[in-house]
Structure 1
Amino acid sequence: MVAPACLLGIDWGTSNRRAYVIGADGACLRKHEDALGALAAQGHFAEALQALRQQLDLDALVPVVMSGMVGSAQGWQEVAYLDSSVPLARLPDTLVPVSGAAGCFIVPGYCYREHGSIDVMRGEETQLLGALLRQHGDGSYVLPGTHSKWVEVSDGTISRLTTYITGELYAALRSSGTLAGLMAEGQADAEALRAGANRAQSAEALSHTLFEARARVVAGGSSAGETRSYVSGLLIGTEFAARRDEAPAGAGGMPVLHLIASHELTAPYREVAQMLGYATQLIDPDQAYCAALARFMEAI
C-alpha cells in the first residue's frame, strides 16, 4: 500500500521547479522536476500548481509549502524578507499564507545588512534549515548555483551572507563576447580549472584576468579547449579569494566548507577548495530540503 501524501513542497526557482511529496513520517515519497520556474509561470501560478497536483495525483487538500522566487515581486505573491537576526529554526513559524489559495504557504527569504552592504536570499534558507536539522551545525556553507551563496551560520543564525553571480556570469561569457568562441567547446579539465582558480588568488581585477584568459590562447600559452575550465576556475577562485581565511578550522586544523548542491555544481568547488587547503563536507540538497519540509509539516 502506498503511503499517503501529507505535504507538497516546492522549490520554485527562477528557471526551474522542484517538487517533493512528503509522507506522514517526513520521508520523501516522490520527487518531480521541470523547467516551469517563476518566469515561465508568471501570471498563472495557481494553474501551474493545479496541473502539478494532477501530475503527482495529489488531493487538493494536501497542503503546499513553497520557497524560492515564488515569493519575490515576480512570483505568485511577494513575501517580505526576514532579517538575518531571525534564527533559521524559526522559519516554520514565519510561513506566509498565499492569498486566495487555501492550504498554500510561502517561506520568506532572508535579508542581510552590515556596514552599508546588503544581500538577500530566497530558497537557500530552506536548505540551510534542513542542514541544521540533519545535525551539520554552525559553520561555513557554500551553495553553488546561478547565484552562489556563501553563508556563515553562528548559533543557528545567519551571521554573514555574500552572493556571487558566478553561474550567471559564466553563462553570459559562454553565450556572447570575446570569450564565447573559445568557450564553445572543450571537456572538463581539472588542471585548467585549478590554474584559473590559482590565478584568481592574486586578487587582481576580474575584468583583467578574464581578458587574460583570451590572451593566453591567442598568444599560444594555452589551447582554446582549456578555456571553459580555466574561466570556471577564475570565477570560482575569485569567490575563494574574497573569503580567504574566514572559514573556521575543523578538528584537523583545516578550514571546513559545507557544500550544498548537486554533484555537478559542487565538483568544481570541491576541487578548488581542496587545492586551497579546505576540508569539504558534501550535503545532499534534496535530503536537506526534505528535512526542512518535514519540520514545516509539523507547523501547519
Structure 2
Amino acid sequence: METTLHIPLVGIDWGTTHRRAYAITAQGTCTQEMADDQGALASQGNFEAALKQALGALNTDTDCVIMAGMVGSALGWHEVPYADQELALEDLGKHLFAVPAGTTAPPRFIVPGYRVRNAWGQPDVMRGEETQLLGAVVQGHSDGWFVLPGTHSKWVELQDGRVRQLRTYMTGELFDLLGRHGTLAAAAGVGTPVWDATAFANGVRVSGQRALSHMLFASRALVVCGDMPAASTRSYLSGLLIGTELKDVMHSHASTGTGALSPSQQRFQLIGSPELARHYQTAADLLSLQFNILDPKAAFLAAVSHLYQHAQKNT
C-alpha cells in the first residue's frame, strides 16, 4: 500500500475547465503535480470532494491549500471580491479568502482576482493571472508589459509591482469558435489543417488594417478566390488574431501622446505555454518586437510560496 506523503503546501491553479495542482515544499520546490479536466464548471456543487480527489491524486496530505483562478469566481467554490488595482501584487497575501473548513481539513485559501478600470471607466478583470504575475514580481520582474496568452489573453502593465493597465483579448476563444463553426470553418473545409508559416505571417502583417470583423471575412475571401489553400485558414486566422493584440498595444501607446515604443518598451514579458510562446514570438519578430519568455509553472510556484508566508500568519 502506497504511503501518503505529508507536504507543507499544495497550490492549485483552478480554471474554468482545467486544473493543475502542485505539492510544494517549504523551500518552494514542487515534488509532485497533477492535471485534469475538473475545472470550476465540472466541480460546481462538489468542490470539497473535488479538492479531496486532487490531494488523493497527489498522494498527499498538507498543512495548507492555496487556490487561484475561477475557483474564486461566481461559478466557483466561493465568489471572492476583486482586489483594487492600487493593491501591490506582493500584498495579495493579506487579502486571501479563507474557505470555511471543518476541524480536520487543512486551511484552504483562495487568491482574489483584480478589477482594473481604464481611463474611460471601463472595467476589466482577471482571475488566476494575478498569481502568475505575482510570481514574476517575486522573480524580479516588476515593470513593463506582460502578456498571458490563452483562451482570454491578458495584457497587463506593471509599475513597481502594481497593476496599471489590464486588457483582455478573446483571442483563444475566437480562434476556437471561428475554427469550428460558421463561415471560416466552412472555408477551412474538413481536411486536416496544416501549419502554414507564410499564412500566419500574412495574417500578422494585415492585422489592424481594418476592423477585425472585416479582416476575419478576408480569410474566407482568400480561400474562395484561390489566393490561399483552405488548409491554411487556421494559420492565417491565428496570425490575424495575435497580430491584432500586438498592434493594439502598440497603437494605444502611440495614442497616449508618448510616441512610438522605445527600444526598451519593445520587449515584453510573456508567461505561457511553449507552443503559444512560439506563435507570439514569431508574430513579435515580424513587428520588430521581442518577448522574454517566463515559465508559467515557475511563476506559479514562486507566487504560491510567497502567499504561503501570509497564509501561515492567518492560521
TM-score, normalisation: structure 2 = 0.90
Contact 2:269 2:292 in 1 (8 A): yes
* Partner residue of 2:128 out of 112, 123, 143: 123
1:161 aligns with 2:163: no
CA distance in 1, matches of 2:166, 2:222: 34
- Structure 2 counterpart of 1:298: 309
Residues 1:80 and 1:171: Cα distance change in structure 2 (over 3 Å): same
Task: Report the Cα offset of residue 3 of structure 1.
Answer: 8.4
Counterpart in the other structure of 1:39: 41
SS at 1:257 equivalent: strand
Report if aligned partners of 1:274, 1:280 keep a CA contact under 8 Å in 2: no
CA RMSD of the aligned region, Å?
A: 1.8
The residue type equivalent to 2:142 in the other structure is: G
Give how far 1:182 is off: 3.4
Unaligned runs of 5+ in 2: 255-259
Aligned residue number for residue 29 of structure 1: 31
1:20 alignment counterpart: 22
Give the match for residue 257 of structure 2: none
Contact map agreement 2:33 2:58 (CA 8 A) in 1: no
Deviates more, 1:188-197 or 1:77-86: 188-197
**Paired position in structure 2 for 1:262:** 273
What secondary structure sits across from 1:280 in the alignment? strand
Which range moves more in the overlay, 258-267 or 280-289? 258-267
Is residue 4–residue 23 contact of structure 1 (8 Å, CA) maintained in 2? Answer: no
> Equivalent residue for 2:117?
113
| Structure 1 unaligned regions, length at least 5 | none
More helix by share: 2
Residue of structure 1 equivalent to 2:80: 79
Identity of aligned residues (%): 46
Distance in 1, Cα, partners of 2:306 & 2:186:
48
Write the mapping of 1:1-300 to structure 2, written as runs, cut at 5 A: 4-59=6-61, 61-100=62-101, 102=105, 103-114=107-118, 115-183=120-188, 184=190, 185-202=192-209, 204-244=210-250, 246=253, 253=264, 255-300=266-311
Q: Cα offset for 1:256?
A: 0.8
Task: State the AA in 2 paired with 1:132.
Answer: V
- Deviation of the 1:159 alpha carbon: 0.2
**TM-score of the aligned structures, taking structure 1 as reference length:** 0.94
- Secondary structure of 2:77's partner? coil
Question: Which amino acid letter does the alignment assign opposite residue 123 of structure 1?
Answer: G
- Look up the SS of the partner of 2:164 in the other structure: strand
Contact 1:196/1:237 (<8 A) preserved: yes
